[in-house]
Amino acid sequence: MAQHELVEKVAHVLHVAAAEAARNDGERREILGDAIMPAAHAGTAGGDDRPVGRRALGIGGQKRVDRRSEPLRVGVVGGGGDREQNQYGGKAFRHGVFPWVRPVRGYNGPDVHAMTKGISRHLPVIGVMRSYRREDLPHDLIAGAVVGMLTVPQAVAYALLAGLPAEAGLYACLAPMVIHALLSSSRQLIVGPVAIAALMVASTISQHAPAYPEAYLDIAMVLSLQVGLVLWLLRLLQVGGIVNLLSHPVVSGFVNGAAILIIVSQLQAFTGVGRITTSFGDGALSHAAALVGSLAEIKWPALALGTASLLLMAVVRRGTPALLGRWRREGSEVRGSHALTRTGPVLAVVLTTVAVALLDLKVDVVGTFPGGLPALTVPVLDAQLWLDVAPNAVLIALVAFVESYSVGRTLASRQRQRIDSHQELLALGAANIGAALSGAYPVAGSFSRSSLNYASGARSPVAALVCAVLIVATLLWLTPLFALLPKAALAAVVIAAVFELTDFRSVRRDWRFYRPDTVTHFATFAGVLVLGVEAGLVIGVGVSIVLFMRGSARPHIAVVGRLGDTPHFRNVERYPVRTWPNLLAVRIDESFYFANADTVESRLAELLDAPEPDDVEHLLIVMSAVNFIDTTGLEMLERLTDRLQRRGVVLDLCEVKGPVRDQLEHVALKDWLTGEVFQTTDDAFNALTDAEGRWVWREHET
């Protein structure tokens, strides 16, 4: 209360000072409690030369505000809400979420908004809270509560998937979620444990467990810290574009393969069989073979609980929209993204736990684990461990950022907003560092929880903070309830979650549109299933690069001619065009570099050696698609010029882009080029075809 009283006194003093200044200047102003009214011009109303009347000033009659008058002054303190721009670029607020802080008129001091602009650029939550409205709070509270109910069972399930204690999953939802909410430019993205990251952590742990026994959590914490540092390094070097190496077919094949691998790995807990000795690095086939050999150990109560959980989640997911549709109002629509369709995992966990308690079923359960908030933990500083897991951390960082940025961008596009990729690198890196310091493992943006957050009506990162509060409550008071939670139900939760990530429908479309992408998809998919997640991802990236190089090494080369009497030029094999026997115009649809230089030179030689253009005097290269030339490409042009000169053919260039022209100027192009450099193809044809009678029609042959 003392702080409130102090702020009110300061506001009152500034109010009085502003009113006194207005009277001294001969101006008539009115200060209205919570509302900010624009000041009227001295001696005028509405900006014209008429005197200010009593009604125009709101005196002795109905109050009226003339919005055409002079700009607003800066308010000292204001909550979010309706806002208007002042003459200094600052914001004046009214009816904010903090009604006891009232804006002050007549204050012409430093612009607080301008002073905090640099801070809010790196702390987007400041901008969000500046515009936060009181009516946004109920939406965020509901969304945060709904997401929290889904997060708790998923967090425990993903921790067990990663081979870590159950509490590590809940820790991964606390500090990382709060840090990301403060730093992210996305308003609905929820960061925490996800299936793909948990799978990659499990693979890394199984890979290095023999060298570091009983240090699973230490490995996970070092991984998380390295992931955060890698993301920060990408932000510092501004090379976030490196994630583009993970093209859509690579990511799609990786996710599909990882989903199958996760489902196969969860069948052990789903059926209740004993421990399987194979690791994630062995691939899904070896894991499935080991599971088949253990069919005699199936525990039927566990299988029944898992199957019932899957059926319940499917019924809730698909049946809720139809059920709610019976009570929907006319003109409204209940879609599959409704928040209630995501309550299946919560119901499955609660009902199966009750069933185990009441029926005394002998199945594997989560058991008790320590409650309370996580303590500040420093990852082990073992140089050899850091070096061993560094490659895995790089791959996890790339996959986590691609997954998070894709989800955030998708949600932002639905609201016609955009997110900052550089800020997301900073936010996700800080979230992973927070996970490392709180005893957790690498985190990423969750597709299922972020979609649920959006569908539940979240309007700001406040929803993520509400979700974090529920995690705190769970850690403090609800951990005993997990003692009888069957692992079969958690396995069903994981299976249902990753099944939604699979996407095989796009493969057929990719095959019709661009077949190399399909090859990349299946190479990545097979690599993950057979060799493991890291090897499969590396194979996918390698195959995509090889196929890209293969395509660019064989560029499309077209002979072009004039389209009628227009200044446009098209491929002679596609359009009826006019050509000139002594001029061969060729468009090369690729840059000149080491991978295609010899191919381009050979193809041009074939065109010149063809029997039809036996009297060619000029070879015109249309360079509209050439974005750069490396030294190998430059040597190719010089060899081609000498080769043509010996045949009596002149080499000309046209439509050279600015950066390429700058490159060529550095090597004295005019000293060795036998022809000219023309601005457009039309200029080149006009200059090189001086006899109209020598035009020849070339018809497109189908």
Task: List pLDDT tens digits, range 113-166.
Answer: 555 566 666 677 787 778 888 888 888 888 888 888 888 888 998 998 888 998
Binning pLDDT at 50, 70 and 90, where does residue 282 land? low
pLDDT score recorded for residue 277: 57
How many other C-beta atoms can be found within 10 angstroms of the C-beta atom of residue 61? 11
- Report the predicted TM-score, pTM, of the whole model to 2 decimal places: 0.70
What percent of the residues of the chain are helix, what percent strand, and what percent coil, each to the nearest 5?
55, 10, 35
Q: Using CB atoms within 10 Å of the CB of residue 126, give its burial: 0 to 12 exposed, 13 to 18 middle, 19+ buried.
A: middle
Q: Which residues, at least 6 apart from 581, have a Cβ–Cβ distance to it below 8 Å?
A: 613, 615, 616, 694, 696
Alpha carbon distances (Å) from 210 to 47, 207, 317: 81, 7, 42
**484 vs 296, residue with greater confidence:** 484
Q: Give the per-residue pLDDT at 581.
A: 81
Mean of pLDDT over the chain: 78
Concatenated DSSP letters of 533-544 = HHHHHHHHHHHH
Which has more confidence, 214 or 50?
Answer: 214
Place of tokens 């509901």: 142
Check whether 171 has a pLDDT greater than 90: yes
Q: Are 536 and 254 in contact (CB under 8 A)?
A: yes
Mean pLDDT, rounded, for 295-320 = 86
66 pLDDT higher than 50: no
The pLDDT, as a whole number, for residue 427 is 92
| Bridging pattern class, strands 577-579 and 569-571 | unpaired
Q: For residue 403, with 0-12 CB atoms within 10 Å meaning exposed, 13-18 middle and 19 or more buried, which class applies?
A: buried
Distance CA 554, CA 577 (A): 25
Rounded Cα–Cα distance for residues 405 and 237 (Å): 18
C-alpha torsion 337→341→343→349, nearest 10:
-120
Closest CA to 585 of 618, 628, 625: 618
Amino acid in position 23? R
What pLDDT score does 17 carry?
55
Closest CA to 335 of 422, 228, 414, 252: 414
3-state secondary structure 130-171: HCCCCCHHHHHHHHHHHHHHHHHHHHHHHHHHCCCCHHHHHH
Tens of pLDDT, residue by residue over 423-451, are 889 999 999 999 999 999 999 998 888 88
Contact 479, 368 (CB under 8 A): yes
Asked if residue 3 has pLDDT above 90, the reply is: no
Closest CA to 426 of 177, 115, 123: 123
Between residues 220 and 125, which one has the greater pLDDT?
Answer: 220
User: Considering only 190-204, 242-256, 384-398, 580-594, which range has the smallest mean pLDDT?
Assistant: 242-256
243 compared with 559, residue with greater pLDDT = 559
Choose the weakest-confidence range: 294-308, 384-398, 511-525.
294-308
